[in-house]
Amino acid sequence: MKIGDIEFGKYPLFLAPMEDVTDPAFRLACKNFGADMVYSEFISADALIRNVESTERKLTISDAERPVAIQLYGREPEPIAEAAVKAAEAKPDIIDLNFGCPVKKVAGKGGGAGLLKDVPKLLEIVKAVVKAVNIPVTVKTRLGWDDSNKIITTLAEQIQDCGAQALAIHGRTRAQMYTGTADWSLINEVKNNPRIHIPIIGNGDVTTAARAKECFDKYGVDAIMIGRGSIGQPWIFEEIKHYLETGEEIEKRPFDYYLNILKDCINKNIEWLDERRGIVHSRRHMAVSPLFKGIDNFKQTRIAMLRAETKDELFEILDGIEKNFDVENRNKINE
């Protein structure tokens, strides 16, 4: 499978763009565990052309992440095209356009999935960005606005005809937000359309290695994009890769191995931002990481992690979790 001149092997796995999640540290961790392509947090085109510092910071990428895509969202063709030119100066491998974000502050103002209600403008944006930059332009979107307007089978052809070189489809409508179950049947329908020749990337509810294999085998997608299933566990890419290659679950490593990965992401975010902001930026991973699932009476510890304001305070909590985890598991072995 290729996007532009970028070659991907069999069963490509992509890290989905996620606000407050896919920062440089997390992207690099996912890359080190086998992600074939990673995406920036989604970036406001309007804020980027206004030179908002916090937005410009999101353009930070490194060669170690490649191939890496910068994702943009907005409402109008000209500002997004202008932002794409600026984003291209950061030398990403791909510019991706977000027509799938369902949150009210984006979609409710006509950006993200809001453009599913204005297809002519959505297509104008794709054309404008393709014309403005000299690197591949890709698109991420949803099935449609709601159950009565699942337009993806027609929209996919239109997006392709505008020059997009790949299409990622989240198997939900905007109305669903992140509820219910992702419907991959329409993703499959797009992939099987004989007029579609660009890669189709499936997204939605891939949280296990077995599910990833099922999606490749059953729906025939060219790649799978993993979003929420990666939060707090960048090692999911290694687990899926191993299963796809061998048909077996990977052997689990000790608790401290995984905990140290999360600590490393915190350290890198502190270096990237500063202590306070780096910790705040890392909290989401700490709050939802499956690493802590099943630990007895963990609620208060999670609250303490989310309230920590210094690295020493947060790491003391994490070290306490590790110590208690080791004690609990030794006790279970001795029972």
Half-sphere exposure of 282 (CA within 13 A, CB side): 32
Report CA dihedral (24, 76, 78, 20) to the nearest 10 degrees: -10
Tokens read off for 163: 């020059």
Which residues lie below 8 Å from residue 313, measured CB to CB, with a gap of 6+? none
Cβ neighbourhood burial of 299 (10 Å; 0-12, 13-18, 19+): exposed
DSSP state of 139: E
DSSP state of 72: E
CA of residue 282 relative to chain centroid, distance: 15
How distant, in Å, are the alpha carbons of 14, 100, 136, 187 from that of 192?
A: 21, 22, 23, 9
Does the annotation mark 101 as catalytic? yes
Q: Considering the candidates 101, 162, 215, 265, report the single residue annotated as catalytic.
A: 101
- Does the CA dihedral 131-62-29-309 come out positive or negative? negative
> Would you name the residues annotated as active-site residues?
101
